[in-house]
Structure 1
């Protein structure tokens, strides 16, 4: 699961954003704070992979906090959430190391698209090497609209989401056999979808070697 820290000076908005994050499979809210000092302390405590960071905070700007985190660590990714849509602000955010930028107000679907693109990128970066085509596709997806990408021939979005939901709900690595029983599809179909989701960076593959010496494939959320 990807741990998300929600940072917003508005208690009500922070609550909405936290609920949005909780609805996206593979993500969990590890904290909700309302100023930069509390955000910095939460990151230092560990367990934070991504910060949903408001720009306007009472004690320090979100950009200033991002720069301080880059200097002092630990390494976390930042999705800037702000009403500031000025070009200069966006440029500053990118130069400070902000990975994504979303302007308030936004819908759940818009945030979900950003989070899912981030999960794909994070999953792909587990690989030791990436070819140029995959790099371009992953980086491009960070800026893509929230609309779902077309599925390959022979696949459906509904089945893919069902299988990913089963893996997420399991809370542990699962096999194609486990998934096929719960999804009520053949084992070969489950394996095809699991492989597709892993290649898209939405699931993580672990190989376990049994007595036969042949690797068994287990999948978990990124």
Structure 2
């Protein structure tokens, strides 16, 4: 079993990422952290195999945290999971030894593919084993284990929709326990109003949300959405 530390400053996103990890056989979440200091403390308490690391943290960047880990002698593997997609940051992550770089929003299938390739890497290294020099064939197998094939969009989702954002919106509605407007959902989820409306409309049409109308002083009804209990 491979132990994972999930690091994200957004509590809801960290919870979604943790649920994704737990759905992949052979992986379990050992801890969650929401800033660099919490991540360092968690690693001191419980060493893990892999860190799923956001770049934008309240007390520094994810790359600063990786540098600190290496300086402190932590050989923990890292997969970056962040909305930051500029080439400079990606290159810096590569130079610091990040095994993968996943740009938000992403689907469960995208994360699963990368976790599975990481597990394959660990198995390959274990099979090669030994302390002697590896030949070229063994080296090629180790590096080849990290290659991931492109993953299709999650089934049942329209083009441009991600499973992570869908789960985030459903989580917002679940926590609220009452119907919310698109404006309220957008504010809670950290999304634009248009994005929230697009996802809410799809979820309502898919039968996962109940739509109700609330009439205000202007006479124009406000659309409100609530989860339909399974």
State TM-score, norm by structure 2: 0.60
Match of 1:3 in 2: 3
- Is 1:136 aligned to 2:158, yes or no? no
Q: Given that residues 109 and 146 in structure 1 are in contact (C-alpha distance below 8 angstroms), is that contact kept between their aligned partners in structure 2?
A: no
Q: Given that residues 79 and 101 in structure 1 are in contact (C-alpha distance below 8 angstroms), is that contact kept between their aligned partners in structure 2?
A: yes
Displacement after TM superposition at 1:133 (Å): 3.1
Match of 2:111 in 1: 111
Q: Given that residues 3 and 29 in structure 1 are in contact (C-alpha distance below 8 angstroms), is that contact kept between their aligned partners in structure 2?
A: yes
Q: Given that residues 69 and 75 in structure 2 are in contact (C-alpha distance below 8 angstroms), is that contact kept between their aligned partners in structure 1?
A: yes
Which whole-Å deviations, capped at 9, do the CAs of 1:23-74 have from their partners, x for residues lacking one? 0111000011100000011111123110000000000100000000001033
List alignment gaps of at least 5 residues for structure 2: 152-230
Which whole-Å deviations, capped at 9, do the CAs of 1:154-203 have from their partners, x for residues lacking one? xxxxxxxxxxxxxxxxxxxxxxxxxxxxxxxxxxxxxxxxxxxxxxxxxx
Aligned partners of 1:144 and 1:123: how far apart in 2? Answer: 16
Displacement after TM superposition at 1:131 (Å): 4.0
Match of 2:99 in 1: 99
Q: Given that residues 44 and 74 in structure 1 are in contact (C-alpha distance below 8 angstroms), is that contact kept between their aligned partners in structure 2?
A: no
- Is 1:89 aligned to 2:89, yes or no? yes
Displacement after TM superposition at 1:19 (Å): 0.4
Aligned partners of 1:10 and 1:97: how far apart in 2? Answer: 24
Displacement after TM superposition at 1:142 (Å): 1.9
Q: Given that residues 6 and 53 in structure 1 are in contact (C-alpha distance below 8 angstroms), is that contact kept between their aligned partners in structure 2?
A: yes
Match of 2:31 in 1: 31
Match of 2:56 in 1: 56
List alignment gaps of at least 5 residues for structure 1: 148-222
Cα distance change of structure 1 residues 137 and 124 upon mapping to structure 2, 3 Å threshold: closer
State TM-score, norm by structure 1: 0.63
Structure 1 window deviating more from structure 2 (127-136 vs 77-86): it is: 127-136
Structure number with bigger Rg = 2
Q: Given that residues 114 and 146 in structure 1 are in contact (C-alpha distance below 8 angstroms), is that contact kept between their aligned partners in structure 2?
A: no
- SS across alignment from 1:125: helix
Match of 1:153 in 2: none
Match of 2:43 in 1: 43
